[in-house]
Amino acid sequence: MNNIRLDNFLRGVLEEDINTGDLTTESIVLPQAQAVGRFIVKEEGVIAGLDVMQRVFELLDRDVSLVPFVCEGQYVSAMTTIAEIRGPARALLTGERTALNLLQRLSGIATQTKRYVKAVEGYKAAIVDTRKTTPGLRMLEKYAVKVGGGVNHRFGLYDAVMIKDNHIAVAGGIIPAVHQVRCSLGHTVKIEVEADNLEQTKEAIAAEADIILLDNMDIETLNKGVGLIGGKAIVEASGGITLETVAAIAQTGVDVISVGALTHSVKALDISLEMRVG
């Protein structure tokens, strides 16, 4: 995580909520008033974002201190107090919603990731994320996937190659597409090819792709795909994967399973801040 970028993001996010000022708090609470609060998780899940939340409050007031009672990534049961916060009441009241919005979202992602990871326990397949993240939050959401036990796929269009249908159509086939990329890009970049069927899988193998994405295949085809590749490339499966289907996919022997739902359809973990005047 890049902390300079994180601070910059959090300042923007606080600006979105505060704009010209917190009308309620500034009218009612004196600057010197102190408060104490406890963060309580209302449902079981994996906690992610404790440091991020702490930074939200620190940016509002350096005198806020947050003491976590659980570790980042810990699975906690409902009604667990996960942290205590102390400091100027204004900062606590003004930062509460922004901090919770982040903590709940990141914990929601980590919790969902953990469920997928558990579902494939015993198989070699890693659960990885996609680029289907909330615009502006990719660094944080991919961080939450890691906290939940998942693994990160590429971060964007700039750090790995993914050759899809349309690239293949333009290039006139998988082999020329991979060839063009290899001539253009350096030795540090991995090349992944999306294959929609076994024919394309064979071409991708022939093109010596580093990673082959078996997209939207049924279990039987996946099995054949894994067999064809036979270790000559990393095998990724994707396409409408759910908690119900993920184990069967893992059983085919694929190396990684990418799950868009980890980030595109997040259920926030229910967490609240109970404050009292200090």
Q: For residues 34-93, which are near a copy of itself according to CB under 8 A?
A: 35, 59-60, 89, 93
Contact 140, 175 (CB under 8 A): no
**Distance in angstroms (rounded) separating the CA atoms of residues 277 and 52:** 24
Q: Indicate the length of the chain as a whole number.
A: 278
86 is catalytic: no
Question: To the nearest whole angstrom, how small is the minimum distance from the Cβ of residue 59 to a copy of itself?
Answer: 7
Contact 271, 82 (CB under 8 A): yes
Question: To the nearest whole angstrom, how small is the minimum distance from the Cβ of residue 14 to a copy of itself?
Answer: 6
Question: To the nearest whole angstrom, how small is the minimum distance from the Cβ of residue 128 to a copy of itself?
Answer: 6
Size of the site for a copy of itself (CB under 8 A): 99
Distance separating the N- and C-terminal Cα atoms of the chain: 33
42 is catalytic: no
Q: Which residue in 115, 131, 138, 164 is the catalytic one?
A: 164
Closest C-alpha among 99, 100, 103, 6 to residue 46: 103
Q: Which is nearer to a copy of itself, 102 or 119 (CB)?
A: 102
- Torsion over CA of 79, 84, 86 and 90, rounded to 10 degrees? -40
Q: Which residue in 86, 132, 138, 202 is the catalytic one?
A: 132
Among 71, 159, 219, 243, binds a copy of itself (CB under 8 A): 159
Give the footprint of a copy of itself on residues 214-233 (CB under 8 A): none
164 is catalytic: yes
Contact 252, 226 (CB under 8 A): yes
Can you say whether residue 24 is alpha, beta or left, with left for phi > 0 and alpha for psi between -120 and 50 degrees? alpha
194 is catalytic: yes
Among 47, 109, 120, 161, binds a copy of itself (CB under 8 A): 161
Question: To the nearest whole angstrom, how small is the minimum distance from the Cβ of residue 18 to a copy of itself?
Answer: 5
Indicate which residues carry an active-site annotation.
97, 132, 164, 194, 215
